[in-house]
Structure 1
Amino acid sequence: MEGEDEDHEFLFNTSADQSFNKHERVIIHIDIDCFYAQVEMILNPSLRGKPLGIKQKNIVVTCNYEARALGVEKLMTIKSALEKCPSLILANGEDLKKYREMSEKIYQVLQSYSLFVEKLGFDENFIDVTHKVVKCPEVPQVITGHTFQDSDGICACGCTERLAQGSFIAQKMRDRLRDELGITSCAGIAFNKLLAKLIGTTHKPNQQTTLLSTSSLSLIKSLKHPRNIPGIGSAINRKLEALGIDTIEKLQSAEIFKLTEALGAKIANQIQQLSFGIDNSHVKITDRPKSIGAEDGFTPIRSEVEVQKKLTCLLDRVLELVEKDGRKPSQLKLTVRKLHPSSHSVRESRQTTIEYATETGSSTHQGPGGEKQKVKLMTTLKNLFEKIIDCDVSWQVTLLGISFSGFPSSNSASPVKNSINKYFHLKASSSRSEEPQPPAKRGRFDESVLQELPPDIRQEVLQDMQNQLPSSDAQKPTDFNCPKGIDPLVFYELPMEIREELLAEERMKKQTIKRKPNNLLQYFRKAS
């Protein structure tokens, strides 16, 4: 997402996989031009051609190209931006609803071209079109758009032809985004995610660039500094600089044991492989979020009345998102950032189980039933707030956040939106009974579709299906070692913190010869 800069934002899994080194994949990276600003200009066409900045609090989080030409930059303070460009028009970008909706529309367009679409924030997507370029004689064998450098060498594996087909598909995607949504974008086409993301930035805006395998090292070296490699954030970069590593070449030639001492074996291997343009990570299908929420930061408030007003507005926003999502949450969490007398702030959260009811044919938070539920949720939030803040003493808060989680798993009769299952799930015959079937008999998968996919992609799809088996399925892999005497099915459904507590107490029990029975453990024990 625009403006984000975290070490973990784009850290790749570069586990060894020789098939990737043959350049078999065709990956497209789509990056929407000045996304927030484009959405504002679509909603208000009178803004087109004028310098436009999107503000959140006192920061210009992004701006259009007219503003950039006049010196405005991302993450610039509003004061500095107006000094650079007095004619700058500022649009309030604190309500993310319109951006979220456009991002979802973009995702749906891209997913019509490939099953494998991975979102990276609101404005970036990876698309694996490997299966689309196999045996496509009707696609021109010339590269559409720009090519990075003129390469004399030709790779013997045939990746040049595959990437040319990928560039044609990328152009079709971008044309459709423009024609249907009014959105312009840039694209990078390469044989892995890292290189596709990097090459897409070389020609902007509204253009696309293809990177041939024979030019991949040239692209990486052109970055000069390790900090320019996605996945190497400021924290990792500081450790590299402490080792005297301040160029790509030095990172490539660094002794691995020195990197391991400073960063750990996993990160050391990852970033050194990235420095050679090696990225074996898959494009993972973006699934529905595990939590839905919103936060609001503000100048310090000191009264419960002000807190209630803020929470009411936040709850309305989040309930609207939950309603649109369509799933029923079972957990409610409140996050509070409180200001201490020493002027430093601390975030603290509390969550609880809730009974969330929806009325057929009505909004989740409108009408008599919805209002009753909203009052109940507000009471719950008030109780959570009082667990975080002692209202009998002086206090100040500068942020409130509400989120719902604990959504049901995707093992329902109808495949979940954005789930890999929906692409292979056969519709039930209209003559069949509408009565729900047991999980093991709910629908089938179209094997003919699977057989059309290349072997490595077919294996990835099958693995995705395996991961989405219901937790009651005997084949479901277990992420934790279940404590002895506890029903694994119950244990699997517990919140993370409860699992960790049970496991910790189980370890303590093994270390003690005599120990009183633990009440929490006893509660979840199997019935004899």
Structure 2
Amino acid sequence: MSSPPIRKIIHIDMDAFYASVEQRDNSALRGRPVAVGYAAKRGVVAAASYEARAFGVRSAMPSSTALRQCPELIFVPPRFEMYRAVSRQIHAIFAEFTTLIEPLSLDEAYLDVTENLRGLATASGTAGKIRSRIFEETGLTASAGISYNKFLAKLASDHHKPNGQYTITPAMGAAFVERLPVGRFHGIGPVTAAKMNQLGIFTGADLRDQSPEFLRRHFGKAGAWYHAIARGEDDRAVQPDRPRKSSGSETTFSEDLTEPADIEAGVLAMADEVWAWCEKARAFGRTVTVKIKYADFQQATRSRTLSVPVHSHQLLGSISIELVRSVLPPAKGIRLLGVTMSGFESGQSADDQQLELGLETE
């Protein structure tokens, strides 16, 4: 029996998407440090331009912190309808090259171009053509990673950002991974990377040298995944239009959050990202869950289930704030916050009514 063909996977990631759209549409913002969001007391940065990132400004950062780091920062309110419209343009371009498209967000997707629909000689050539079409159509730049699996394609797209692309061939995969710090691995956040460092694991080579038993003992079910990616292995297929049971967003902060205003701002930023996906997919759930991970790795969740799906951005934000306030003021620093909507009922309309249920704690 012949072996299946080696997959050709492209990961496309738009460069500073929200901020770039704003700079495109307002010439006065070009070359300036821009944050999409609000400079209000409880404001939060939804996205930052590369000029702002040079000052350490990043998404999910409280606006007050961002302004301290970059006093010249220009805040512009988000225009999610515009971002969704541009995203539809970009995904229409993807469809010219492949039917296997797995959207990850408005500005990011995996494409399987193993089947050559356009007669282009290589996957790298295909990625270059897609990036050119995106720029011609939208005036925006995109970065691309090309490889034989999703994990490596995702890593490759960060390698020459912004407005670049990089290819990791099968002959390069294992060596590319072994040189990389574990903190650069997609799916390994700062807390897990720090734990690995404490165990003497600093690079992909260090991770590759650990036995499956060792990794399972220290990282549970994720141990098998770490064992595979340390060898550049990832069997996941690109899954177009895969059904979603939930939509969630979480972030690990570089410094522990202790101030209630900063914690609430972080939760609102996560709720904004969740709502952007839900509205685009027209999928709305009845359960909202807030995840809290403390500096000592202890984790807690707070959930609320409504009588009808959440069909309001404002309602999702207010529920998320109410849930996180149940742990305020925190007895210890908070390193991670997340918001998830689940219990989807796609395509249904409902009034924004709320069924008062008790908080569920884990």
Structure-1 residue corresponding to 2:53:
68
Preserved contact between residue 226 and residue 237 of structure 1 (Cα < 8 Å): yes
Preserved contact between residue 35 and residue 76 of structure 2 (Cα < 8 Å): yes
Of 251, 256, 261 in structure 1, the residue corresponding to residue 217 of structure 2 is: 261
Q: Residues 122-170 of structure 1: CA distance to partner in whole angstroms, max 9, x if unpaired?
A: 3211100001179x4xx45xxxxxxxxxxxxxxxxxxxxxxxx111111
Structure-2 residue corresponding to 1:217:
174
Residue 332 (structure 1) shift: 4.8
Q: Which moved more, 1:81-90 or 1:277-286?
A: 81-90
Q: Distance in 2 between matches of 1:48 and 1:248?
A: 38
Q: CA RMSD in A?
A: 4.2
Q: Aligned pair 1:237/2:221, yes or no?
A: no
Structure-2 residue corresponding to 1:349:
304
- Where do residues 3-18 of structure 1 align in structure 2 (5 Å cutoff)? none
Q: Secondary structure at the match of 1:102?
A: helix
Give the TM-score normalised by the residue count of structure 1. 0.47
- Where do residues 75-86 of structure 1 align in structure 2 (5 Å cutoff)? 75=59, 76-86=61-71
Q: Distance in 1 between matches of 2:142 and 2:179?
A: 23
Name the larger-Rg structure. 1
Residue 287 (structure 1) shift: 4.3
Preserved contact between residue 292 and residue 405 of structure 1 (Cα < 8 Å): no
Structure-2 residue corresponding to 1:227:
183
Q: Distance in 1 between matches of 2:229 and 2:341?
A: 37
Amino acid at match of 1:88: L
- Where do residues 145-160 of structure 1 align in structure 2 (5 Å cutoff)? none
Amino acid at match of 2:225: Q
Preserved contact between residue 192 and residue 280 of structure 1 (Cα < 8 Å): yes
Residue 84 (structure 1) shift: 4.1
Preserved contact between residue 246 and residue 341 of structure 2 (Cα < 8 Å): no
Of 156, 160, 182 in structure 2, the residue corresponding to residue 199 of structure 1 is: 156
Q: Distance in 1 between matches of 2:340 and 2:212?
A: 43
Q: Aligned pair 1:406/2:361, yes or no?
A: no
Q: Secondary structure at the match of 1:132?
A: coil
Q: Secondary structure at the match of 2:171?
A: helix
Preserved contact between residue 217 and residue 276 of structure 1 (Cα < 8 Å): yes
Q: Distance in 1 between matches of 2:123 and 2:116?
A: 8
Q: Which moved more, 1:169-178 or 1:37-46?
A: 37-46
Structure-2 residue corresponding to 1:113:
97
Q: Indicate how the Cα distance of structure 1 residues 336 and 104 shifts in structure 2: closer, same or farther if over 3 A, else same.
A: same
Of 195, 207, 210 in structure 2, the residue corresponding to residue 251 of structure 1 is: 207
Q: Distance in 1 between matches of 2:174 and 2:89?
A: 35
Q: Distance in 1 between matches of 2:237 and 2:175?
A: 23
Structure possessing the higher relative contact order (Cα contacts under 8 Å, 6 or more residues apart): 2
Structure-1 residue corresponding to 2:77:
92
Q: Distance in 2 between matches of 1:278 and 1:404?
A: 33
Q: Distance in 2 between matches of 1:60 and 1:219?
A: 33
Q: Distance in 1 between matches of 2:216 and 2:341?
A: 40
Q: Distance in 1 between matches of 2:67 and 2:108?
A: 28
Q: Indicate how the Cα distance of structure 1 residues 209 and 133 shifts in structure 2: closer, same or farther if over 3 A, else same.
A: farther
Preserved contact between residue 32 and residue 185 of structure 1 (Cα < 8 Å): yes
Preserved contact between residue 97 and residue 117 of structure 2 (Cα < 8 Å): no
Amino acid at match of 2:83: Y
Q: Residues 207-259 of structure 1: CA distance to partner in whole angstroms, max 9, x if unpaired?
A: 22222222223321331x22221122345435434533233222111122222
Q: Distance in 2 between matches of 1:239 and 1:401?
A: 25
Question: Percent identity at matched positions?
Answer: 32
Q: Aligned pair 1:276/2:215, yes or no?
A: no
Amino acid at match of 2:96: S
Preserved contact between residue 12 and residue 145 of structure 2 (Cα < 8 Å): yes
Q: Which runs of 4+ in 1 moved over 4 A?
A: 287-293, 324-327, 331-337, 400-404
Preserved contact between residue 333 and residue 403 of structure 1 (Cα < 8 Å): yes
Amino acid at match of 1:115: T
Residue 114 (structure 1) shift: 0.8
Q: Distance in 2 between matches of 1:77 and 1:48?
A: 23
Q: Indicate how the Cα distance of structure 1 residues 404 and 279 shifts in structure 2: closer, same or farther if over 3 A, else same.
A: closer
Structure-2 residue corresponding to 1:29:
11
Preserved contact between residue 110 and residue 150 of structure 2 (Cα < 8 Å): yes
- Where do residues 400-439 of structure 1 align in structure 2 (5 Å cutoff)? 405-407=344-346
Structure-1 residue corresponding to 2:143:
186
Q: Secondary structure at the match of 1:31?
A: strand
Preserved contact between residue 10 and residue 145 of structure 2 (Cα < 8 Å): yes
Amino acid at match of 2:32: K
Residue 105 (structure 1) shift: 3.0
Preserved contact between residue 190 and residue 213 of structure 1 (Cα < 8 Å): yes
Amino acid at match of 2:345: G
Residue 107 (structure 1) shift: 2.1
Residue 201 (structure 1) shift: 1.6
Q: Indicate how the Cα distance of structure 1 residues 118 and 86 shifts in structure 2: closer, same or farther if over 3 A, else same.
A: same
Of 3, 13, 30 in structure 2, the residue corresponding to residue 48 of structure 1 is: 30
Preserved contact between residue 167 and residue 189 of structure 1 (Cα < 8 Å): yes
Preserved contact between residue 194 and residue 230 of structure 1 (Cα < 8 Å): yes
Q: Distance in 2 between matches of 1:238 and 1:406?
A: 39
Q: By percentage of residues, which structure has more strand? A: 2
